[in-house]
Structure 1
Amino acid sequence: MANKTPQSAQQTHLAVLIDADNAPAAIVEGLFEEIAKYGIASVKRIYGDWTLPNLGSWKKVLLDHSIQPIQQFAYTKGKNATDSSLIIDAMDLLYTRRFDGFCLVSSDSDFTRLAARLREEGLTVYGFGEEKTPSPFVSACDKFIYTEILRADAKEHDKQTPDSADDAHPEPAKQPSQRKNQKAPVEFIGKVIDDIDDEDGWVQLGALGSNITKLRPAFDARLYGFKKLSDLIRANPQRFELQTKAVSSTGGEALYVRNRKAAR
């Protein structure tokens, strides 16, 4: 199944599965705002050992967001039973054939094979994890969103809940003011344009975004200090040209982009 666009989000049903041991509660506001761009969170489950104190920050927000906690005892020290429980539930949900995609919220590479298996069934997989997430898990998803971005988008929420950081993560999460925007990969974007442009060098912006995500699931304009891909393009007028053009198939208009060199 192809990636869903925001226009088709109302018909897209998603299963949201959260690994509480590897996701801080401070992302919850930004997480579900982000998921709403891609579809309806029909199922929202979170996995962990709720008898332990380190998940206290999650307990405070479960009811507000209608997230179902799934209890999983740690039967053996050093073995992560939570991962197994989440994977088993994911497969059970897969075979109901009621979902168009899955949102896997974790920075744990153990879910790499799960993401790949769900995609083999034609479902879209959205991954959510910290920037330290191993690249195999990132690449196994159709799209991967770093949770540091979500924390930045939910800055006001973080201020209101200063104790919301998950005690299971001794490493302090980067605060919005501390994050440094990465350098935008303009050369990579230019190469993608060259690969898919028409005879005049133009590419519809939506098609460009889809192809970039296929090649780099973790690509996100917000990583480079821009709200949208179009803003990133506009910020590099010496490299790209942006123009609104008519779409013959729909009769409407859309943004098109081409490399500046193609305009010569």
Structure 2
Amino acid sequence: MDSENAAKLAVLIDADNAQSSVVEDLLAEVAKYGTAHVKRAYGDWTGTSLKGWKEQLLTQSIQPIQQFAYTTGKNATDAAMVIDAMDLLYTGRFDGFCLVSSDSDFTRLAARIRESGLTVYGFGERKTPKPFVSACDKFIYIENLSYSKSPATPADTSLRPAPTASVAKLKADTALVSQLRNAVEAASDDDGWAPLANVGHIITKQRPDFDSRNYGYAKLSDLMTATTLFELDRRSPGDGKQAVIYARDKRRQGG
């Protein structure tokens, strides 16, 4: 991605509702979609519950936003994060927001930001309620960020990535097969070939939380190859430009 033309993103983290151990991988994922011009984490930093976050704040240059828990059972952090998000939205300086939380309280915030024409990337655990997932343009499960460099500690066992699904299991997943085939068909030319990037965009519009890593594959091309239902063709446009991958349903062979 051209750094000069990269999307300007604001990353807002609900530290009360996210684990500090995923921050490095999370910011690496954010970098795929643009440049984080604002990085803020919200919580009550006077207590001990966020102790693990403090080193990450310094290392990753994340600004801590102090929010005292005024009343037991009420989440003041959510309100502070929503207010800041709206203030940042009104500046008109950003192309998108990354909301890091597994809390459905941010559903309306995500919808409101999208109403203003900005892109919303959600990050949360698999337990995240569907309304929040659906309110985002794209939703990335935290567990998928752990393909990792270091073995998971006991505290992180719940965040281990999905195991690699077998060919038989992929083929038996009728919803997945239908989704892939429909997207390829929608993006295809007269010969049935579809740019893989377009296929991915179509699927994400229908299912914000779609991710090849949900099935144990790092890339969409790997997942589609694993199903054995599609042909993949890597084409080089020349002039030093990056090769483009195309996909075609094998049922179209000879068509």
TM-score, length-scaled by structure 2: 0.88
Quick check: 2:164–2:217 contact (8 Å CA) kept in 1?
Answer: no
1:18-33 equivalences under 5 Å are: 18-33=13-28
What's 2:186 paired with?
195
What's 1:259 paired with?
249
Which stretch shifts more, 225-234 or 179-188?
179-188
Q: What amino acid is aligned across from residue 240 of structure 1 in structure 2?
A: F
What's 1:209 paired with?
200
Q: In the superposition, relative to structure 1, how do residues 200 and 147 fare at CA in structure 2: closer, same or farther (>3 Å)? A: same
Cα distance in 2 between the residues matched to 1:9 and 1:39: 10
RMSD over aligned Cα, in angstroms?
2.3
Cα distance in 1 between the residues matched to 2:136 and 2:96: 11
Q: What amino acid is aligned across from residue 154 of structure 1 in structure 2?
A: S
Q: In the superposition, relative to structure 1, how do residues 192 and 76 fare at CA in structure 2: closer, same or farther (>3 Å)? A: same
Task: Find out whether 1:146 has 2:129 as its counterpart.
Answer: no
Alignment partner for residue 86 of structure 1, among 81, 84, 87?
A: 81
What's 2:51 paired with?
56
> SS of 2:50's equivalent?
helix
User: Identity over the aligned pairs, expressed in percent?
Assistant: 56
Q: What amino acid is aligned across from residue 219 of structure 2 in structure 1?
A: K
Q: Cα distance, 1:9 vs. partner?
A: 7.8
1:1-264 equivalences under 5 Å are: 6=1, 10-150=5-145, 152-156=146-150, 158=152, 173-176=158-161, 179-181=162-164, 184=170, 185-237=176-228, 239-245=229-235, 253-264=243-254
Q: Cα distance, 1:195 vs. partner?
A: 2.7
> SS of 2:65's equivalent?
strand
Q: In the superposition, relative to structure 1, how do residues 144 and 251 fare at CA in structure 2: closer, same or farther (>3 Å)? A: closer
Q: What amino acid is aligned across from residue 148 of structure 2 in structure 1?
A: A
Cα distance in 2 between the residues matched to 1:100 and 1:158: 34
Cα distance in 2 between the residues matched to 1:157 and 1:40: 28
Cα distance in 1 between the residues matched to 2:135 and 2:34: 20
Cα distance in 2 between the residues matched to 1:135 and 1:79: 22
Q: Deviations over 1:103-142 (max 9, x none)?
A: 0000000001111111111111110000000011111111
Cα distance in 1 between the residues matched to 2:110 and 2:119: 9
Quick check: 1:74–1:80 contact (8 Å CA) kept in 2?
Answer: yes
Q: Cα distance, 1:173 vs. partner?
A: 2.2
TM-score, length-scaled by structure 1: 0.85
Quick check: 2:10–2:39 contact (8 Å CA) kept in 1?
Answer: yes
Cα distance in 2 between the residues matched to 1:153 and 1:181: 11
**Of the two structures, which has the highest relative contact order with CA contacts closer than 8 Å and spacing of 6 or more?**
1
Which stretch shifts more, 192-201 or 217-226?
192-201
> SS of 1:55's equivalent?
coil
Quick check: 2:142–2:159 contact (8 Å CA) kept in 1?
Answer: no
Q: Cα distance, 1:220 vs. partner?
A: 1.0
Quick check: 1:9–1:40 contact (8 Å CA) kept in 2?
Answer: no
Cα distance in 2 between the residues matched to 1:144 and 1:102: 12
Q: Cα distance, 1:247 vs. partner?
A: 5.8
